[in-house]
Chain A
Amino acid sequence: EPEVTQTPSHQVTQMGQEVILRCVPISNHLYFYWYRQILGQKVEFLVSFYNNEISEKSEIFDDQFSVERPDGSNFTLKIRSTKLEDSAMYFCASSEGGAGGETQYFGPGTRLLVL
């Protein structure tokens, strides 16, 4: 069964460093998403991406965040200068369609710890 994959599973970084989280969405999916979950809290939407551009972003997704689809399979989230409060689990998701309540399938997550 096709699934969303994410690398790395864990990442530890120093405050101020740049990190890139990688995701490989399900191959025939066209819509991609990043969410984050601060430990013990709910899952929060960060950004959605379609047709090589951001379609929506939350207020959390400020100038230090960026997303990219560098090739036909990867979807990345970059945090330019990490802060302590960026420590969270980051989930990538993908869906076949969008704007129609399509089911989003999530990857296993990357646990980011900023020291």
Chain B
Amino acid sequence: AQKVTQAQTEISVVEKEDVTLDCVYETRDTTYYLFWYKQPPSGELVFLIRRNSFDEQNEISGRYSWNFQKSTSSFNFTITASQVVDSAVYFCALSEPSHNTDKLIFGTGTRLQVFP
């Protein structure tokens, strides 16, 4: 069965620290997609990244980087030099393509608090 696990419920760091948010997924499909979304205190869901199962190359975007490892079914997210504005709940999600739909299966989220 498809499942996304974010074992870290809450993480607190001080500004400028690096922090890694863990995501472990379960799927029987060979083709799947992984996503990260950010939910700031205002409540909206902001798309951060999409990665397909055939592309294990790590990605860096500014202070954000993602480490995808199929061998451990993990798609971890690292924020370098964290800032107060990074405080939010971060969700990892999985999509398994099927006929005419792309429902997202979300993890339970990790609440990140960055203190000045």
Contacts and interface: CB of A to CB of B under 8 A. Distances in A.
The answer to whether A and B come from one shared complex is yes
Interface of A: 31, 33, 35, 41-45, 48, 50, 55-56, 58, 89, 91, 93, 95, 98-109, 111
A43 B46 CA distance: 13
Interface stretch (B14-22, B30-38, B61-69, B70-78): B30-38
Interface residues of B, number: 29
B35 A106 contact: no
B49 to A, nearest CB: 9
Given A42-B107, A42-B109, A99-B97, A106 B102 contact: no
Given A42-B106, A99-B97, A106-B45, 8 more contacts: A44-B106, A45-B103, A50-B100, A89-B43, A101-B97, A105-B47, A109-B43, A111-B43
Given A101-B33, A103-B35, A109-B43, A31 B102 contact: yes
Contacts of B42: 108
A42 B101 CA distance: 20
- The 4 A-B pairs of least Cβ separation, nearest first, read A101-B33, A106-B45, A56-B101, A55-B100
B104 interface: yes
B102 A100 contact: yes
B108 A104 contact: no
Interface of B: 31-33, 35, 37, 42-47, 50, 52, 91, 93, 95, 97-109
Given A42-B107, A42-B109, A89-B43, A98 B100 contact: yes
B100 A99 contact: yes
A48 B95 CA distance: 13
A4 B107 CA distance: 23
Contacts of B109: 42
A43 B91 contact: yes
B91 A48 contact: no
Nearest to B53: A101
A33 B103 CA distance: 8
16 contacts: A33-B103, A41-B108, A44-B106, A55-B99, A55-B100, A56-B98, A56-B101, A91-B45, A93-B45, A98-B100, A99-B100, A99-B101, A101-B31, A103-B50, A104-B102, A106-B44
